Amino acid sequence: MRQIKSIVIAGLLLTFPMFVGAQTTVKISEPEDEVIISKHIYGHFSEHLGRCIYDGLYVGQESAIPNQDGVRSDIIDALIDLKIPNLRWPGGCFADTYHWKDGVGPREDRPTMVNRWWGGVTEDNSFGTHDFLNLCETLGAEPYLAANVGSSSVQEFTEYVEYVLHKGGSPMAEWRKEHGREKPWAVKYWGVGNEMWGCGGNMTAEHYANVYRQYATFMTDWTNSDGLFRIASGANVDDYHWTEVLMRDIPKSLIEGVALHSYSFVEWNEKGSSVDYSEEQYFSTMKTALMMDELIVNHTAIMDKYDPENEIALVVDEWGGWYEVMEGTNPGFLYQQNTMRDAMIAGTTLNIFNNHADRVKMANLAQTVNVLQAVVLTEGEKMLLTPTYHVMKMYNVHQDATLLPVSFDGPTYEFEGESLPAISASASKNKDGEVHVSLVNIDAHKSHTVNLSVEQFGAKNLTGTILSSKDLQDHNSFESPEMIAPKELKSIKVKKGVVEIELPPFSVLVLKAE
């Protein structure tokens, strides 16, 4: 990766002047083959990390903050409005040090542990499996359990499956009933370890493939009529050898998904501020974000060799922006702000996932509350929604809709002799015949005019929602929690079946055609 000098401008929000760019014509076509954009692409991730669970999602039943069984009511309402389709838990790196039996039964009897990965804090296991799975039921979201392989055993792993899924008569099912849950939970998605190339055990791909085969063999489904969805711990960014080995060495009868992790940042060892960043840092971050398309293309090409029938999903179960923690916060808690840069990451990444929905069947933004590219931030009783939240809510119209191919020759965003595509787009048609088009302009300076032909869809009623702001570094704070919020697009020009829209710099727009 090219080395880029870090420029940190403390206490200064840069204002980028707006210039008018070129016109772009976006063509939307009817698909030759129907591809459904799985709602699970819009999944989320909550790890026992910093203030994601404790002092974030979970405040306890005795808290003065309104809650449902200890989980903040305002966060529950926000996630329901977001139409969150699935939630991954308990990690992350934490997953491969987590022993699930420590988190069930009376809270006063649960042992403590030290969270060695994230801040060295003491974990009291007060938020455990019952709390998480009951929360998913409240949210109407599918649970995605990342289970321990790195420091566990096949027996502990399979007893977890039995505890969660068996109806009754087995030792683990009866133990679950003793803890107050009569019926099993219908948990379909199971991660067989996490980042086994790193914090999950520093394994080679060849070794992990054999370990995976062993664990997956003993996983038995007791509840779901269509079976378990077992997800192998996949590659780190462009480790194509890892994907090659898993696809080659794991029988298709034992696997339903292969994971991929990729984060967006300035430089791995020089991530820069989440608020006071320069245009150079912004450009570099967007460069890594847009690499997601290349990663998916290349990993998919490997998967196609071994799975031409497209039966195994690519699951991008960790993605998002990663910067330095906010000043004065615990370095191991990964708390950062969320600006219009993060809205750009979210919009372009979701467009990439939508356009590769034939292979990408699930993804999980990291992370839900108070960690990395969060959709919700909290401070005591206060809560705010981030620009990323608003983008994901705007985009949830694509969930389970039919992908419509888009094509265009767009302008570029130029910076110091380098260029990136300025415009990103994806489109879909839902079961009611509504067409939705999501557009992003990442250019820090120029607005761009987009001409969009909708005549072939017989659209008569056009509406739009836009997310934009004056400065790229703008963000919602607890003093101004609604500084950035979606607004109705007031100017939609239609002439001879062509819609003309002006996209301001660093903006996200979703157009609906009925």
Q: What is the pLDDT of residues 416-426, one digit of tens each?
A: 999 999 999 99
Q: What is the pLDDT of residues 225-246, one digit of tens each?
A: 679 999 999 999 999 999 999 9
Q: How confident is the model at residue 22 (pLDDT cuts 50, 70, 90)?
A: low
Residue pLDDT, tens place only, 24-81: 889 998 898 999 999 999 999 999 999 999 999 999 999 999 999 999 999 999 999 9
pTM of this structure: 0.94
pLDDT of the residue at 258: 98
Pair 227, 265: CB distance under 8 Å: no
- Asked which of 160-164, 254-258, 417-421, 490-494 is least confident by mean pLDDT, the reply is 490-494
Q: What integer pLDDT is reported at residue 459 of this predicted model?
A: 65
Cα–Cα distance, 157 to 99 (Å, whole number): 9
Compute CA distances 148 → 43, 68, 121, 210, 275, whole Å: 21, 28, 20, 16, 35
Identify the residue whose tokens are 């960014």. 237
* pLDDT for 5: 28
DSSP 8-state code for residue 116: T
CA–chain centroid gap for 135, Å, is 18
pLDDT at position 503 over 80: yes
Stretch 294-302: mean pLDDT, rounded? 98
Q: What is the pLDDT of residue 270?
A: 87
Instruction: Give the pLDDT confidence of 356-390 residue by residue, as tens digits.
Output: 999 999 999 999 999 999 999 999 999 999 999 99
Q: How far apart are CA 420 and CA 401, in angstroms?
A: 29
In sequence order, the 6+-apart residues with CB closer than 8 A to the CB of 159 are 172
Residue 194 has pLDDT above 80, yes or no: yes
Q: Give the pLDDT confidence of 107-140 residue by residue, as tens digits.
A: 999 999 999 999 999 999 999 999 999 999 999 9
Is the pLDDT assigned to residue 405 strictly greater than 80? yes
Helix residue ranges, H only, 13-142: 73-81, 129-139
| Residues annotated as part of the active site | 195, 318
Give the integer Cα–Cα distance in Å for 465 and 184.
41
Q: What percent of the chain has pLDDT over 70?
A: 95
Give the residue from 147, 17, 127, 23 showing the smallest Cα distance to 472. 17
Q: What domains does the chain contain, in order, with CATH numbers?
A: 19-32+405-513 (2.60.40.1180), 39-286+313-404 (3.20.20.80)
252: three-class secondary structure by DSSP: helix
